[in-house]
């Protein structure tokens, strides 16, 4: 990183274990966390709440430029309302990925994301952290896994929350979101040229965390 603030980026599609790895690294390093997906989800929530059409670029950009969202510990607060669980639905994710294709919306969110880089360091989780937002990051990780395996994990996770889910529907949602995130013109989902790519399809998340931790120690980002 050109500044002296260490940054570790974690990119990849949904349901690949980025969030779990990010939390693990936050605990091990004491660094700050940027969950950039939560910003896009908060924007999606705000757009639906304000009844903004998803193709009304001017209004979406205006909202993105002054998004009234705050991250307090692990909670997402929108205009004073705790929306942490409301933004976790597949529906909000779908709206987020739809408006995330708009270049001016992405540009409007850039400075806000960069501002998360503060000492002692940052763990940045998203789709374009290593390619666009923090191109000079010290460590860039890209996690991948097949859509089927990610759908199975999501269904299991929902079951533990007492929510029943249809695996075919979840697989279709994931594939539709991948399609949009991978094929958009601005900041598409892809590994940075200097990213370490980890296929988590046949690795449990603990193994992924340990592999990454050795990498972080090797780079002397922590003792
Ligand atoms: O990581 P997530 O599932 O919470 O992200 C929700 C959507 O937000 C994702 O499908 C695309 C968009 N997103 C993005 O375009 N760029 C990011 N850095 C993070 C999320």
Closest Cα to residue 86, out of 132, 46, 121? 46
pLDDT one-digit tens code per residue, 98-115: 999 999 999 999 999 999
Which residues lie with the beta carbon below 6 Å from any ligand 1 atom? 14, 36-37, 40-41, 93, 96-97, 100, 126-128, 177, 181
Residues 7 and 134: beta-carbon distance below 8 Å: yes
> Within the chain, what is the greatest distance between any pair of CA atoms?
49
What is the residue with the minimal CA distance to atom 11 of ligand 1?
97
Q: How many Å lie between the centroid of ligand 1 and the Cα of residue 98?
A: 10
CATH of the domain at 30: 3.40.50.300
Q: Which two tokens mark 74?
A: 């692990």
Residue 140 falls within a domain, yes or no? Answer: yes
Instruction: Give me the domain span that covers residue 52.
Output: 7-217
pLDDT class of 3 with cuts at 50, 70, 90: low
Round to whole Å and give the CA distance between 67 and 158. Answer: 29
Is residue 137 predicted with pLDDT exceeding 90? yes
Q: Where are the beta strands (DSSP E) in 59-148?
A: 69-72, 75-78, 81-82, 122-126, 139-144
Q: Which of 29-33, 124-128, 161-165, 203-207 is predicted least confidently?
A: 161-165
Residue 1 falls within a domain, yes or no? Answer: no
Q: How many Å lie between the centroid of ligand 1 and the Cα of residue 29?
A: 24
Number of structural domains (the chain) is 1
Residue 11 falls within a domain, yes or no? Answer: yes
> What's the whole-model pTM score?
0.94
Round to whole Å and give the CA distance between 43 and 61. Answer: 10
What is the residue with the minimal CA distance to atom 2 of ligand 1?
37
Give the mean model confidence (pLDDT) for residues 22-42. 97
pLDDT one-digit tens code per residue, 155-175: 998 888 888 889 999 999 999
Q: How many Å lie between the centroid of ligand 1 and the Cα of residue 223?
A: 31
What is the residue with the minimal CA distance to atom 15 of ligand 1?
100
Residue 222 falls within a domain, yes or no? Answer: no
Pairing of strands 69-72, 75-78: antiparallel
Provide the mean pLDDT of the chain. Answer: 94
Residue 2 falls within a domain, yes or no? Answer: no
Q: How many Å lie between the centroid of ligand 1 and the Cα of residue 125?
A: 9
* pLDDT for res 220: 81
Residue 81 falls within a domain, yes or no? Answer: yes
Q: How many Å lie between the centroid of ligand 1 and the Cα of residue 61?
A: 16
* pLDDT for res 85: 93
Residue 149 falls within a domain, yes or no? Answer: yes
């Amino acid at each position: 990183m050109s500044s002296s603030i260490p940054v570790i980026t974690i990119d990849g599609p949904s349901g690949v274990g980025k969030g779990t790895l990010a939390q693990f690294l936050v605990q091990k390093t004491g660094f700050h966390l940027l969950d950039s997906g939560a910003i896009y989800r908060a924007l999606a929530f705000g757009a639906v709440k304000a009844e903004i059409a998803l193709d009304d670029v001017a209004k979406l950009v205006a909202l993105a430029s002054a998004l009234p969202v705050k991250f307090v510990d692990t909670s997402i607060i929108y205009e004073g309302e705790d929306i942490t669980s409301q933004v976790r639905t597949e529906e909000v994710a779908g709206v987020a990925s739809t408006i995330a294709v708009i270049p001016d919306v992405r540009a409007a969110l850039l400075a806000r994301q960069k501002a998360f880089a503060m000492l002692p360091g940052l763990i940045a989780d998203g789709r374009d952290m290593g390619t666009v937002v923090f191109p000079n990051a010290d460590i860039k990780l890209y996690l991948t896994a097949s859509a089927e395996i990610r759908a199975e994990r999501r269904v299991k996770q929902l079951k533990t929350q007492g929510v029943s889910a249809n695996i075919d529907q979840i697989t279709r949602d994931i594939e539709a979101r991948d399609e949009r995130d991978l094929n958009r013109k601005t900041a598409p989902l892809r590994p940075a040229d200097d990213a370490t790519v980890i296929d988590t399809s046949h690795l449990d998340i603990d193994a992924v965390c340990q592999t990454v931790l050795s990498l972080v120690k090797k780079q002397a980002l922590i003792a």
